[in-house]
Every structure is written in C-alpha cells, then in structure tokens.
Amino acid sequence: MNVPPKWADRFLEWYCNPDLLEEIQGDVHELYQIRLEEEGKSSARRKFLWDVFRFLRWSNIKRTKQTHSSNSFTMLSSYLKLGFRNAIRNKLTSSINLFGLALALGVAITIFAFVDYMFNMDSFHSNSDRVYQITNLVKNSGDNNSDNWSDSPIPLAPALMEDNPSIESYTRVEFEQGAMRYNETVFNESIWFVDPSFLDIFSFPLQYGNIKTLNNPQGIVITKPISEKYFGNINPVGEVFSIKFSNGTKEEFTVGAVLNDLPGNSSIRFDNLIAMNAFENLKPEDANDWSFFTDATFIMLKPSHQISEVSSRMDKYKSIQNEASLNWPIIEFKFYSLNGLSRKNNEISQEISQGAHPAGMIALGTISLMLLLLACFNYMNISVATVTTRLKEIGIRKVVGGRRKELIMQFLTENLVLCMGSMMLGVLMAYLFFMPGLSSLFPITVSFSTISLFDFSIFFISLLVFVALISGAYPALYISSFQPVNILRGKEKFGQKSLFSKALLTTQFILAFTTIIACFVFIANSLSLKNKDWGYDHDQTYVVPTENYETYIAMRDGVRQNKNILNYGGAVNSLGESATRTSVTYQEEKLSVMMFKVGFNYLETMNLRLKEGRLFDESIQSDHSESAIINTVFAEKMGWDNPIGQSFEYDSVKRFVVGVIEKFHYYDFYASVDPVMFLITPEENLKYLAVKVEAGSLTDTEDYLKSIWKQVAPDDPYAGYFQDAVFEGFHRDNNSNMKLLMFVSIVTILLSCMGLFGLVSYNITRRMKEFSVRKIFGASVNHIFKLMNKDYIWILSIALVIGAPLGFFGINSLIEVIYPEPIETSAVPFVTGIAIMVVTVAITVSSQIRRVIKNNPSQTLRNE
Amino acid sequence: MKGAYLGELEELILLTVGVLYENAYGVAIKDEIEKQVGRKLNISAVHAVLKRLEDKALINSSMGGATAERGGRRKRLFTLTTLGKKALDQANEVRTQLYNQIPKVALQFNTY
C-alpha cells in the first residue's frame, strides 16, 4: 500500500477549508509519493504527518465567506411586519399564546425572586464568606442516631481563638428571656447575650448610637421595633432599661445603639443584644463550664484563611467536652458557612438561622418549570397548527430564493418578538399581582428590589432564550423543511395526522394532571391537618405563664375563687410551648424521651386521654416522687405489652409507670411524636398555670385572670393565651400553602385549557368545509361529535393514566419529607382533580363543537 | 497589507514562480528552491507565502494539471503578474544600484 496514513488524511480533510483542500492535499500526496521512492515508507509517513500538522493553521481552516449575502437587516422589518399581520389575523390564537406565556413567565419570575431571596439569605453580611457556625454532632443516648445541635460548650469559642491564629474573632449567642421595663412600660422580651464582636461579624445596619456598645457590660443594643415600642420615634440612646432575668436577678442597662430594621433576608433575627460579660456576671458558675451549652457559636476567620485550618484541630476539644458532659457524647464538630446556613438549617437542631425548608424551594422551582413548559407546548402546538394558512407564503418565499436559514430566522424572529411581549406582560403581572400575593402569604417581602441586578439579568436572558428556543425551534425547523413544489401544488398534507403535535398535547396534559393531582392531594392533606386531632381537647383551655413562685401561687389562689374555672393545674413545660429532651435507662438501654414536669391535675386540665392505668393522684405518696405517666409511643419503644407497673430509671431514681396516655402532639404537626413521660414536680417549680374553663365563658375568664395579674404582679407583663393559639403559626403556614397551591392549580388548568381551546378552534376552522360536506350528506350531530372528540379522548386518557400516579407519588414523597406523620390519602382529591380537569376539557371542546353544529353548510361552501 | 515590500522568502519564491513559468505549483517550487538554493522548506510555508503573494497581486493562479501521484487532484498553478514582474525588477534594481555604490575600496581585501 503506498497511500499515506488514512487518519491523517481524514484529519486534513476535516479541518481544511474545502476551497483549499484540493491543492493542499494534492501537494502533500505528491510529496509523499516522492519521499516514498527516495527515503522509504516510514520516513515518508512521518513527514506526511508533519506536513499535515504544519498545514493546520488558521488561514487554511477558516471557511471563506460565501459570495451571496442576504440583506438580513432589511428582511428583519419585513419579518416583523408579516408576523404582526399574521398575529392580527389570528387574534384568538395569538392572544392565547401571548397571555399564556405571560402568565407562566409572570409566575416563573415571581418564584425566581422568591427562591433567589431565600437562597441568598445572609449574603448582605460583608464578611459572610469568612463566618462559620460550629455545631455539635452528638450521639443520641437512646438509640444509635445522632443529632446535630446548634448548641456547643460555652468555653469552646474562647479556647479556639487562643489556639488558632487563623481566627479573627468569635461570638457566642445565649438566648435569654427578660422582663424589660422602661418607666411604666414592661414587656417580656427575648434577649441575646453575645460577644462584643457580634456586630463586627454580622453587618447589621445601625440607626443610632455606637457600634462598640457591646464592649460595655452595662450597654444594650436594641432593634428599631423595640425602640419604637418603648420610646416612639425619638432617639433612645442613653435611656436606661431595667431588666429582670428569668432567674429573678434585676439589672440596669443603658441603650448604646439602635439597629435599623433587620434586613428581610437576614435569617438571624433578634430583638435585643447584651454583652456576654453580663451573662458571666449573671451566671458565673456557667460561664466557663464545658458542660454548659450555649445556643450558638460563630467564628470569623482572618481573610484568606481556610476553615480546614480550624476544623482539623478539633480533637482536643472533643475529648474535653466528652469528659465534661458524659450524656452528650460528641461525634464531631461541624462547621457551617454563614453563606448557605439558612439553606441547611433543617440539618441542625434548635437552629439559630430561620430559613425555609429546601423541599419547598424545590417544589416551587418544579412548579414554575412545569408551568413554563405547559405554556411553551401550547405555543408550539398552536404555531404548528396556524402555519397551515401560511404554507403559500413559505412556498413563495422559497421559490423566489429564500433559503431555509432565512425562513428559520423569520419564524424565530417572530417568536422572539412575541416572547419579549409576553415577558413584559409577565413582569407586569408579577409586579402587580403575583409578588404582592406571595408576600401576603408568607412573612417576607418578595419584590424586584430584593434581587441582585446581576442575577436578575442572567435569569431574564436565559429565560428568554429558553422560552424562545423551546417554543420556537420546532415550528421554525419543521415549517421551513417543506418542499416548495409540494406546497404550491397543494400536496403538503399537514397538521391533522401529526404524531408530534399529538405527543405534545399528551405531554401537556400529563403535566397538567401531574400538577393538579399533586396540588389537590397536598391541599387535602393540609385541610385534614387543619381538623386533625391534637391528641387532647384544647378548646376550653387557657394558659398563663408566670414569672416566679409567688405569682404562680397568687394566680392559683385567684383561680380557685372563680366558679367558671372547672379545673386547673401547673406545669414546668406546657404542651405546645416547650418540652425537655432527656434520656431514661431501662435494663442498661438508654431511650431518648421528651419530658414534661407537671403538677397534680395538669393532665386532667389539659384533657389528655388516659389509655390505661390512672393519672397522678395527690393523695398517693409515691406519686410525689417516683411515679411516671408515659405515652403509648414510650411503651411501644420499650416493647412493653403491659406497661403499668413497669419501671425505668431517670436521674438515678427508679420510676414506676402508673398510667399510659394516648399519643398527642406536643409541638405542631411538623414534629414527630417521640416517647413522652410526665413526672410530678414540687409546686414551687411550676411556671405555667393551665385552667379549664366552662364553655362560653372564655373571654370573661381571661378578663378575670388579667385583673388578678394586675394586683399580683403589676410589674410583670401578662402573657396568657388560649391553648388554641399554640398551633396558630402552623395553621397560618398551612393556609398559605393551600392558597399557593390553589393558585397553581388554577393557573395549570387555565393554561392547558387555553392551549386546548386554541388548538381545537383552529382545527375546527380548518375542517369546517369537511364538516359542512358531511352535514350535507346527512351526518348527524352525534356523528360529528364523535369524530371531533375521538382524538382528544384518547389523549386525555393516556395523560390521565401517566400523569395522575406521577403527581400522586411525587407529592406524597414531598409530604413525607415535611410531615413526619402524614394523613392517609383518600380518593377524594384524586377524583376531584380528575373530574375538574375532565369537565373543563369537555366544556372547552364542546364550546367549539357548537360552532360546527350551528354552522350553516351552504355558507361555508358557497365561498368557493 | 504590509505595503509592497518583498520579504526575503517572498522574493525567492516569486523568482522561482518566474523561473518555473506555467509549471509553478507548491511541490515544484519547493523542489526548485531546494535544488537551486539548497534551502529546505516545509510545503505549508510555501503555500502560505504563495497565498500572501497572491493577496498582493504579484502572482495569479489557476487550477490544472492533475497527475496520478496526486491521486487525480489538480494543482494550483501560479504565474507572474505584471505587478509581480515590476516588483522583481524593482528589487533587482535596488539591489544592483546599492551594490554598485559600494566604494571599490571597501571590496578590496588585501590578501597577504
């Protein structure tokens, strides 16, 4: 074989400009032949490769311009004019296209603004990339699971700072409650003890005063809402608060600074800040104790240092902590960057950062994508259908020398213009309706101003390109591919039998069914949660939190004298408000439980339901010290068939089970129900006074309790509440979710029916002559009806069979993520969703079929 | 375009195109230069220079003369244009003129 290496030759053919290929290839081949004779095969081959490689230069690669160049700029105006005329001619379909796209785009823009807002929480802190929260991954004493706690030992941060030169500063956060008094105004406020560098690490905007206030242990930093609450609109710097802390200590603090309203996208939210030094004065025994856990610890690295420099040296502290607190065996310290902390807050227990659950974000993103796709499919279907009237135009364009590329350009331009129009309409819709709507549902403000300009422009451009291509590419490519001869001879049959258009419509309805079933199942779930049994009756219960024993006793005495009050009881932890997680021992095994310390009669007052055994009895001596009441979950976890009389150990005291109560929800439905035990605690520890009130006298009783409070503790704020209110936040969330999903379902139905309407009405217009001829030959209304509906019934059934289960299982897996104990789904939402879809589709189609039936055949046929 | 100046290799190849007359194409030019000047060139360099010369309108080209060893591919044959001839003349003239101006003394080397 005396040919040069094939692959090199092919390579040359591939890269070389076809205009130059002949001479170049000829020359290298000729040289190869010469060398083959003179120098032998291997040398010739080698040199051939070298030559091919040397020819690889830009001047040989670049394709020379075609001599023909169309005047595309002039054509552009022609495209626009024609596109506009066409849009006017088909008013119905073009407005469906425009409005449908605008609707979907408006929703997409709103959801983007929302998700962007949630994902970029805390990014306004100028040091956010250097700030980390340290969390504690702790082995659960009960089982083999572990919990990632926001809390960490209080001396950890100072110790780290001393040992690591890469740490610039730290701040710890210790939550505290206190009654804050200024002159005659008293409220219970949440107060954070923080280290002085808190305001260096986090960049919260200052309204008045000095940012260095926290260096002074007697200083307090308040936020604007607090300032307005106590002082109105004046500058309060220098005013003095007297604060009574939860342990009864009273101290005075001078306002040193007022922070402006915390930015809406701050996931870290607080009311008042006091220096950590004040905490050290308040509880000196805890301040350096490795077994005392403070609520959060943040460190800030020096610029250009890595967190691994700190995280790799944590073993030392692990052993210190494990020695100090045996029942909190730490597995590791974890580090969370402030950027993204709000997204990961579901990984952390007792988290300080208030972000949304990422599942919600994912669901919203999916929803907006679905809506966009729906609108795009509508557009695709309708434009392919409408183009039948433009076949002649395409044919003529081709005959007079329009190339395919130009036709594609023409359709894409038209499409782009329409997309931009929809985009503007969509922005308007988002601005006027969707964003205010969303903001009213959730405690945040979604608006264009929260999005960074960069993110927004990127999103806008990619959205435009995405929508324009998805909706425009297929029609443009398909339409431009016809042969002009076939078009002009009328041979191009088109539209009716297009498999693609049917597949598209099916996909569209699959999406619609998926969304609707998903939404309806979720709504059904939310609805049933609204009425779900809490595990106890809460309608007639009122709770008063008290500050100290004296107040508690005084309130209790007052309650005894009121005949409207049927029962009362005290507790350290009140249902729905708080519970203490701890662990108990049974046969060497540990079990993690939620503990409620209560007084006698509390369980009766709260209407908890006894399953077996008895409730606490004051007259039985052992109930004061060693009896326990557990819930059914506790008994199941222990494997007790007959729990009464069983015993376990808590706090090195043997406890005997005297009663078992039914499962109840001690927080909201987001939290799962864990094992629970109730223990009796001496009356002087009680904090909450719960009262059961005669039906119909709730408000009277509230007034009565308030008046007693005024006499007993005029200095302290009154914070009584109806037990009903405990779930208020949950129900508000729930309602918002329902409204949101209701809206999405409506938009989905609207979009898919708009698409169907456009398509059907178009097809009918096109086939009007056919139907007229059929009518003349005696076709019955029934017959035509069947003829029309055959296709759509098939499409609908297929979509139903695929889409409904998809939506059902998709949403169920989401519900399981959000609610640990989902409701059994019934068939009702399923059937309702399907029925609504089918009915709307039927109405849409038959409204068009009426046109055929009413139509007078002679009118249609006379035209030609 | 860098003006009408001829580079050294450009001049050499332009001359060779003239020498080969009607038979000037890539491989032939490369061979001729190798034979007459003893300078080894890569064929791609020859092509690049030919293209540059054509851009400067110093040579014309046409396709023709397929042979078997080229796999039946035609050659691009180059011929001098009038402008090309002028450029050669000018280069030659400048060179001779300058050469003639060298003082005799400068060229008299004493050989002892």
Best of B40, B41, B47 to disrupt the A interface (most A CBs within 10 Å) is B47
Cα distance between residue A35 and residue A2, in whole Å: 11
| Distance to chain A for B92, nearest Cα, Å | 30
Per-residue pLDDT of A613-642, as tens digits, reads 888 888 888 888 888 999 998 888 888 888
Helix (H, G, I), strand (E, B), or coil: what is residue A658? strand
Task: Give the number of other Cβ atoms within 10 Å of residue A64's Cβ.
Answer: 9
**Interface residue B56 vs chain A (CB under 8 A):** no
Contact A450, A263 (CB under 8 A): no
DSSP string covering A593-638: EEEEEE-TTHHHHTTBPEEEE----TTSGGGGTTEEEEEHHHHHHH
Is the per-residue pLDDT at A495 higher than 60?
Answer: no
Q: In chain B, which residues have their Cβ closer than 8 Å to the Cβ of A24?
A: 26, 47
Residue range A656-668, pLDDT digits in tens: 899 999 888 887 7
> Measured between beta carbons, which residues in chain A are less than 8 angstroms from residue B67?
30
Q: Give the one of B47, B70, B76 whose C-beta lies nearest to A30's C-beta.
A: B70
Which residue of B lies nearest to A56 if distances are taken between CA atoms?
A: B44
Cβ distance B71 to A29 less than 8 Å, yes or no, reads yes
B-chain residues within 8 Å CB-CB of A33? 69
In angstroms, the CA A358 to CA A584 distance is 34
B43 at A interface, C-beta within 8 A:
yes
Backbone angles phi, psi at B84, to 5 degrees: -65, -40
- Interface contact A34-B69, CB threshold 8 A: yes
Contact call for A54 and B73, based on CB within 8 A: no
The pairing of strands A676-680 and A627-631 is antiparallel
Looking at the complex, report in whole angstroms how far the Cα of residue B30 sits from the nearest Cα belonging to chain A. 10
In this prediction, residue A61 carries a pLDDT of 84
Q: What is the pLDDT of residues A723-760, one digit of tens each?
A: 888 888 788 878 888 888 888 888 888 888 888 887 78
Chain A nearest-CA distance from B77, in A, is: 9
Closest Cα of chain A to B56: distance in Å? 16
Measured between beta carbons, the chain A residues lying within 8 angstroms of B43 are 27-28, 31, 51, 54-55
Rounded to a whole number of angstroms, the distance from the CA of B43 to the nearest CA of chain A is 7
Of A22, A29, A51, the CB nearest to B42: A51
Shortest CA gap B97–chain A (Å): 37
> Residue A670's CB: how many other CB atoms inside 10 A?
14
Give the residue from A655, A638, A626, A630 showing the smallest Cα distance to A591: A638
Question: Do the chains contact at A57 and B48, CB–CB below 8 Å?
Answer: yes
Tokens describing residue A706: 């308030």
Across the interface, whether the CB atoms of B26 and A33 are under 8 A apart is answered no
Q: Does B73 touch chain A (CB under 8 A)?
A: yes
**Quick one: DSSP state of residue A127?**
T
Name the residue with higher pLDDT: B10 or A500.
B10
Q: What is the per-residue pLDDT across A298-355, written as a single tens digit (0 to 9) for each? A: 999 998 888 888 888 888 888 888 888 777 778 888 898 888 788 777 778 777 777 6
Q: How far apart are CA A547 and CA A689, in angstroms?
A: 11
Q: What is the ipTM of this complex?
A: 0.86
pLDDT of residue B2: 45
Tokens of A246: 């939860």
Residues 6+ apart with CB under 8 A from A632: A611, A660, A661, A662, A663
A453 against A629, higher pLDDT: A629
* Contact assignment for A27 to B74 by CB distance below 8 Å: no
Cβ–Cβ below 8 Å for B70 and A26: yes
- Decide if B52 touches A, using CB distance below 8 A: no
Tell me which residue in B27, B48, B51 faces A27 most closely, judged by beta carbons. Answer: B27
Chain segment A807-833, per-residue pLDDT in tens? 888 888 878 777 777 767 677 888 888
The greatest distance separating any two alpha carbons of chain B, rounded to the nearest whole angstrom, comes to 62
- Look at residue B8 and give its three-state secondary structure: helix
How far is C-alpha B78 from the geometric centre of its chain's CA atoms? 11
Q: B73 vs A26: CB contact, 8 Å cut-off?
A: yes
Q: What is the full DSSP assignment across A320-367? A: HHHHH-TTS-EEEEEEEESTTTTTSGGGSBT-SS----HHHHHHHHHH
Residue A459, exposed/middle/buried by CB under 10 A (0-12, 13-18, 19+)? middle
Looking up tokens 């969370």 gives: A336
**Residue whose entry in the numeric block shows the structure tokens 């914070």:** A719
Whether A263 and A205 have beta carbons less than 8 Å apart is answered as: yes
Per the listing, tokens 């519970």 go with A579
Instruction: Tell if the CB–CB gap between A31 and B27 is shorter than 8 Å.
Output: yes
Q: In this predicted model, what pLDDT tens digit does every residue of A241-290 receive, in sequence order?
A: 988 887 778 889 999 999 988 887 788 888 899 998 888 888 888 878 88
- Please report, for residues A430, A636, A654, the alpha-carbon distance to residue A626 in angstroms, rounded to integers and kept in the order given: 62, 21, 7
pTM for the model: 0.64
Residue A318 near residue A332 (C-beta atoms within 8 A) = yes
Instruction: Name A5's Cβ contacts closer than 8 Å, sequence gap at least 6.
Output: A45, A48, A49
How does pLDDT run across A154-198, given as a tens digit for each residue?
Answer: 888 888 888 888 899 999 998 888 888 888 778 888 899 999 999
Q: Do residues A317 and A124 lie in contact, with contact meaning Cβ atoms separated by under 8 Å? A: no
Contacts of B42 in chain A (CB under 8 A): 50-51, 54
Of all residues in chain B, the one with the smallest CA distance to A27 is B27
Residues 6 or more apart whose CB falls under 8 angstroms from that of A182 comprise: A230, A231, A239, A240, A241, A242
pLDDT above 70 coverage of chain A, percent: 95
Mutation target among A16, A17, A27 for the B interface, most CBs of B within 10 A? A27
Rounded to whole angstroms, the Cα distance separating A295 from A282 reads 16
B74 with A26: Cβ contact below 8 A: yes
**DSSP assignment of A660-712, as one string?**
EE----SS-TTSPP--EEEEE--GGG--EEEEEE-TT-HHHHHHHHHHHHHHH
Inspect the interface and report whether the beta carbons of B71 and A59 lie closer than 8 Å.
no
Give the count of beta carbons closer than 10 Å to the beta carbon of residue A749.
19
**Chain-chain contact of A33 with B69 (C-beta, under 8 angstroms):** yes
8 A C-beta contact, residue A658 and residue A613: yes
In chain B, the residue whose alpha carbon lies closest to the alpha carbon of A36 is B69
Which residues of chain A have a CB within 8 Å of the CB of B66?
Answer: 26
Chain B CB contacts of A34 under 8 Å are 27, 69
Q: Which amino acid is at A400?
A: V
Confidence label for A492 from pLDDT (cuts 50, 70 and 90): low
Local structure of residue A434 (DSSP, 8 states): I
Instruction: Out of B30, B44, B73, name the one closest to residue A29 (CB).
Output: B73
Nearest CB to B43: which of A22, A31, A33? A31
Among A163-172, A429-438, A769-778, which stretch is predicted with the lowest mean pLDDT?
Answer: A769-778
Q: Are A177 and A189 in contact (CB under 8 A)?
A: yes
Residue A381: name the closest of A482, A469, A467, A495 by CA. A495
What single string gives the DSSP state of each residue in A799-842?
A: HHHHHHHHHHHHHHHHHHHH-SSPPPP-SHHHHHHHHHHHHHHH
Type of residue found at A640: W
* Beta-carbon separation of B63 and A23 below 8 A: yes
* Of residues B45, B48, B76, nearest to A23 (C-beta): B76
What are the structure tokens assigned to B76, written together? Answer: 């691009």
* Closest Cα in chain A, distance from residue B82 (Å): 24
Cα three-residue angle A227-A229-A235, rounded to 5 degrees: 30
Cβ atoms A729, A668 nearer than 8 A: yes
Q: Chain A residues contacting B, CB < 8 Å? A: 22-31, 33-34, 50-51, 54-55, 57, 59-60
- Which element (helix H / strand E) includes A186? strand A185-194
pLDDT tens-digit map of A779-811: 888 888 787 778 788 888 898 899 888 888 888
A520, A742 in Cβ contact below 8 A?
no
- Asked if the Cβ–Cβ distance from B43 to A22 is below 8 Å, we say no
Q: Measure the CA dihedral A666/A667/A670/A674, to 10°.
A: -40
Phi, psi of A391 (to 5 degrees): -60, -40
Nearest CA to A250 among A186, A196, A320, A313? A186
**pLDDT above 80 for A210:** yes
The average confidence (pLDDT) of chain A is 83
A289, A295 contact by CB (below 8 A):
no
Please report where in the chains the tokens 């002085």 appear, as a residue: A196
Residues of B in contact with A12 (CB under 8 A): none
Beta strands A589-598 and A580-586, pairing class: antiparallel
Eight-state DSSP code of residue A563:
T
User: CB count, 10 Å around CB of A804?
Assistant: 20
Q: How many CA atoms, within 13 angstroms, populate the side-chain half-sphere of residue B24?
A: 21
**Chain A within 8 Å of B65 (Cβ-Cβ)?**
no
Average of pLDDT values for A30-57? Answer: 90
Tokens read off for A211? 């940012």
User: At residue A101, what is the residue type?
Assistant: L
Q: Contact A55/B75, CB-based, under 8 Å?
A: no
Q: For residue B47, which residues of chain A lie inside 8 Å, CB to CB?
A: 23-24, 27, 55, 60
Q: Report whether pLDDT(A293) > 60.
A: yes
Tokens describing residue B73: 């591919």
Dist CA A414 CA A464 (whole Å): 13
CB contact under 8 A, B26 and A29: no
Whether residues A27 and B48 touch (CB distance < 8 A) is answered with no
CB pairs under 8 A between A and B: 60
- Hey, are the CB atoms on A23 and B44 less than 8 Å from each other? no
B chain contacts of residue A27, beta-carbon cutoff 8 Å:
25-27, 43, 47, 70, 75
Work out the number of other CB atoms within 10 angstroms of the CB of residue A518: 31
Q: Best-predicted range by mean pLDDT among A124-133, A141-150, A483-492, A825-834?
A: A124-133
Residue segments in chain B with a per-residue pLDDT below the cut of 50: 1-2
